[in-house]
Structure 1
Amino acid sequence: MKTKNSVIAKRVIAGVLAAVSSAVLFAGCSSGGSQSTAGSTAAGAQSAEKKTFKIALECAYAPYNWTQTDNSNNAVPIQDSGTYCNGYDIQIAKKIADSMGCELQVYKTEWTSIPTAITSGKVDAGICGMTVTAERKKTLLFSDPYYTSSFVALVKKDGKFANAKSLNDLKGAVCTSQQSTAWYDLLSQIPGGSIQPALTDVPTMLVALTSGKCEMLSCDKPTGMAAVKAYSNLKMIEFAEGSGFKVDAEQTHVCAALSLNNTELQGKINTALKNISTADQEKLMQWAVDHQPSA
């Protein structure tokens, strides 16, 4: 026969187990706000629903991320804005958020301000097309790669470097790329390259090339793919092995960036990424290239 005390004890244990289960599910997500602990189970569920996964990205770096005016193709609202963000990063971030049981929130952030947004705690992560470098690893923790790319050159179809097949063929090119990126550092490998000041973002880079302010841009392959789709007068140069940019393998890894001590969130992101195959990544990247906004 069950006694009254044993029933009460079992109810208490069940309540504790439920609370622990909820805490494990939402570890790594940000709280949507404080709430009084004196409330019903329904109130607790409402609080759980407010758990969010906050990410920083430019919303201007197609095909990884871009801004659009509506929520078509599963775009996500940009916080404090009437616009939406979509792209490869967004679709990957949504899969991660779903895996953790969190709501995805997007914060539009300038490229150079993303690390600070992460380390200050304003956001949980940067899922922004960022690659791993030795310098970044001093202040940021990185997930497993959610894409692996290669580096290419962008030139004008009717320019003097249109037939280039190697870095040697780009000798003396007036060149530039985005500030605070591995892309810009690669320019020193161009023989006699006339390296111009770094530019703030990809749209500004493309304007510089199409307007004739420079003759060549360095970037990764997805960015090059998006550029030639948006600008019919541009050409992407892919280099044969040994004739292109020399980089560490790590520099080709696109990863989520986190604060250095956030190993718990790193583990949860890596768990989610294990369910996204390389084939799925390539398919999703091609989708992003095909659906980016027109230039």
Structure 2
Amino acid sequence: MSKKLIALSVLVMFVLAFGLAGCGQQSAKPAEQPKPKVLKVGSDTAFAPFEFQDEKSKEYVGFDMDLIKAIGKQMGMEVQVQSMNFDGLIPALEAGNIDATISAMTITDERAKKVNFTKPYYKSGLSMVVKADNNTLKTFKDLEGKRIAVQIGTTGADEAKKIKDAKIREFNTAPEAFMELKAGGVDAVVNDLPVNEYYIAQAGGKDAKTVGEPLTSEDYGIATSKKSTELADKINKALEELKKNGEYEKIYVKWFGKKPPQ
């Protein structure tokens, strides 16, 4: 064998050995984990304590936010929250811009014609808020002919419009309605009881108070598109698991300071 042939053979063996070593290193790399599927969720993020933006972190927080994140985790999905006005949530579902909505939305027959609702996850009711020094408005009957602030598209707005001769002012968010009461532009705010109670707690009870008995008893549900019955079933299953393993109760106590009703 000539020297040139020997040298060529050695070179070929070296290249082959290097190539095999490279293949071995590549095969040793761990397989990349598939990214979780995304669940696009719409919410009116100005409805504390259910959904609102933390002033420091700028993240969306609240009972609904913790709950939907826990549901997403249970389903193996990454939750992405999109903030929008309450009256735009159902149209966004119908247009396919979001997959679901959680926004303290009361389950009603009218809404159920347009969306699928999960099983109820929270029981609420409507109440009225007046200024702390107001001692004349004590019941919903007393609101006849009065100026009432409500949030557009809510059941509070629907019920307020039924009050005789009442002058209704609709606002995009609950905080705007409360600010109007504080400024003296309206006599009362009609909204969900836990939202009213949270506002008063945050204000230290100096500016406003709740009066009278709740007008209604309402159930909140998570809504999905009519085209997504499978998604609603998956959310129901995840919600049931969270109630069984105690995670739902933990979130409830965190935001309301008491255990959920049985």
Query: TM-score per shorter chain, which class?
Result: 0.7 to 0.9
1:253-292 equivalence runs, <5 A: 253-277=219-243, 284-285=251-252, 287-288=254-255
Structure 1 distance, partners of 2:144, 2:102, is: 35
**Residue identity matched to 2:43:** L
- In 1, are the aligned partners of 2:71 and 2:242 still within 8 Å (CA)? no
Structure 2 distance, partners of 1:158, 1:236, is: 12
Provide, for residues 127-179 of structure 1, a one-character-per-residue CA deviation record: whole Å limited to 9, x for no partner: 111111222112111111110111111111102435x1x32233432212111
Provide, for residues 59-92 of structure 1, a one-character-per-residue CA deviation record: whole Å limited to 9, x for no partner: 1111110012455xxxxxxxxxxx3100011011
Structure 1 distance, partners of 2:136, 2:63, is: 30
Provide, for residues 212-270 of structure 1, a one-character-per-residue CA deviation record: whole Å limited to 9, x for no partner: 1001111111111111112231101241xxxx53x5x5xx1111011012111111111
* Long gaps (5+) in structure 1: 1-39, 72-82, 291-295
Structure 2 distance, partners of 1:175, 1:282, is: 35
Corresponding position of 2:140: 167
Corresponding position of 1:114: 89
* Residue identity (%): 26
Structure 2 distance, partners of 1:65, 1:97, is: 16
- In 2, are the aligned partners of 1:226 and 1:289 still within 8 Å (CA)? no
* Long gaps (5+) in structure 2: 1-28, 258-262
In the alignment, structure 1 residue 137 sits paired with structure 2 residue 112: yes
In the alignment, structure 1 residue 58 sits paired with structure 2 residue 32: no
Superposition TM-score, scaled by structure 1 size = 0.69
**Residue identity matched to 1:62:** A
- In 1, are the aligned partners of 2:161 and 2:168 still within 8 Å (CA)? no
Corresponding position of 1:226: 198
Residue 188 of structure 1: how far off its partner (Å): 3.7
Superposition TM-score, scaled by structure 2 size = 0.77
CA 1:280–1:193: 2 relative to 1, 3 Å: farther
Secondary structure at 1:177 match in 2? strand
**Residue identity matched to 1:114:** L
- In 2, are the aligned partners of 1:63 and 1:285 still within 8 Å (CA)? no
Structure 2 distance, partners of 1:211, 1:280, is: 40
In the alignment, structure 1 residue 198 sits paired with structure 2 residue 170: yes
1:171-250 equivalence runs, <5 A: 171-190=144-163, 192-231=164-203, 232=205, 233-239=207-213, 245=215, 247=216
Residue 112 of structure 1: how far off its partner (Å): 1.8
Secondary structure at 2:220 match in 1? strand
RMSD: 2.5
Structure 2 distance, partners of 1:41, 1:129, is: 43
Structure 1 distance, partners of 2:124, 2:253, is: 13
**Residue identity matched to 1:175:** I
1:47-86 equivalence runs, <5 A: 49-71=35-57, 83-86=58-61
- In 2, are the aligned partners of 1:147 and 1:253 still within 8 Å (CA)? yes
Provide, for residues 173-221 of structure 1, a one-character-per-residue CA deviation record: whole Å limited to 9, x for no partner: 221211111101111444x452223111101101111111001111111
Corresponding position of 2:102: 127
Provide, for residues 267-288 of structure 1, a one-character-per-residue CA deviation record: whole Å limited to 9, x for no partner: 1111122234499767645633
- In 1, are the aligned partners of 2:160 and 2:168 still within 8 Å (CA)? no
Structure 1 distance, partners of 2:178, 2:54, is: 19
Structure 2 distance, partners of 1:117, 1:94, is: 20
